[in-house]
Structure 1
Amino acid sequence: MQIPFRIAGKEGVPEWIILELQGDLESRTQEEMASKFIGDLHFTKEGIPILIIGHHIMYGKVQDLEKPYALMHKKKRNTDTKEMEVDGTETQETTASTAGVEYLIKALIRKKILFKSRPKPIIAVQTANVS
């Protein structure tokens, strides 16, 4: 499963990273998980990514992609333009219609965060007060 998300980029250029999980991510209620809160992503002081989902923790690593991906937005294009042609003394108006699709590049994706180990349960340790 791959999940793209946005991070702060350099020089005002949007930079995105892919979050890749090995295996499946399932909900207890079997409902669709699109646009839902999944968990928390943190980084240690050494830059190691940590993903916390419920009562489970996963450690990952940041990797460069072999080939960068482009995040594109598909936009329909339909423009009618009128052109004036002057040929000697005659003036003609022609209408040129161009219909098609254009793709706008929103961001480039050059890195991914890979989580390939099994999640480990988070166990809270309680200390007893000894009197």
Structure 2
Amino acid sequence: MQIQVKCNCGEGKCPEWAIVELQGVVEAQPSFENQLPGLEIGRLCHSSSEGNYTFTVGYHELSGSKIVLKKPLLVLKKKKVVDPDSDNSPKMELDVIGIIRHKILFKTRPKALISKQQIKEKKV
């Protein structure tokens, strides 16, 4: 079976995506289970001086690094197309919407972020 893939963005101009790889399970609270698409679970920051990444989820901070994939991956979107010249049976096409060349790997245990309560000094 032949699968045709179309790229409308031009050679070398596809948007870059990245994979975020975590060790463990990310679970949403029961009150958010029906709102998972578009749910913000944390903040991803990049330190350009060190080349490290930090991912903060609630009171936990993970440290990670960027790794180049051996083989790039394509991000595809499936589309049904009806060819008027054929017997009107829908044909599937795949559009390239991005390419993944890197992954950000968080392989260490998270560091707990504990903030100390500020003590106000009384002036006498």
Residues in 2 aligned to 1:23 and 1:120: alpha-carbon distance in whole angstroms: 14
- Range 118-127 or range 44-53, more displaced: 118-127
SS in 2 for 1:23: coil
Residues in 1 aligned to 2:40 and 2:64: alpha-carbon distance in whole angstroms: 19
% of aligned pairs identical? 35
Count of matched residue pairs:
107
Structure 1, unmatched stretches of 5+, are 1-10, 82-95
Paired position in structure 1 for 2:5: none
- 1:104 pairs with 2:95: yes
Deviation at residue 127 of structure 1 after TM alignment: 5.5
Q: Which structure has the highest strand share of the two?
A: 1
Cα deviation per residue 1:18-54 (whole Å; 9 max; x = unaligned)? 1111110112337433321100000123121000001
Task: Return the TM-score normalized by structure 1.
Answer: 0.70
Moved over 2 A (4+): 27-35, 96-99, 125-131
**Aligned CA distance change for structure 1 residues 77 and 118 (closer, same or farther; 3 Å):** same
Paired position in structure 2 for 1:67: 71
- 1:29 pairs with 2:30: yes
Q: Which structure's relative contact order is higher, taking Cα pairs within 8 Å and 6+ residues apart?
A: 2
Structure 2, unmatched stretches of 5+, are 1-11
Task: Return the TM-score normalized by structure 2.
Answer: 0.73
Cα deviation per residue 1:34-80 (whole Å; 9 max; x = unaligned)? 32110000012312100000111000110011211100111112121
Larger radius of gyration: 1
Paired position in structure 2 for 1:120: 111
SS in 1 for 2:24: coil
Cα deviation per residue 1:72-124 (whole Å; 9 max; x = unaligned)? 1111121214xxxxxxxxxxxxxx44641111111110100011112111122
Name the Cα RMSD after superposition.
2.3
Residues in 2 aligned to 1:34 and 1:118: alpha-carbon distance in whole angstroms: 26
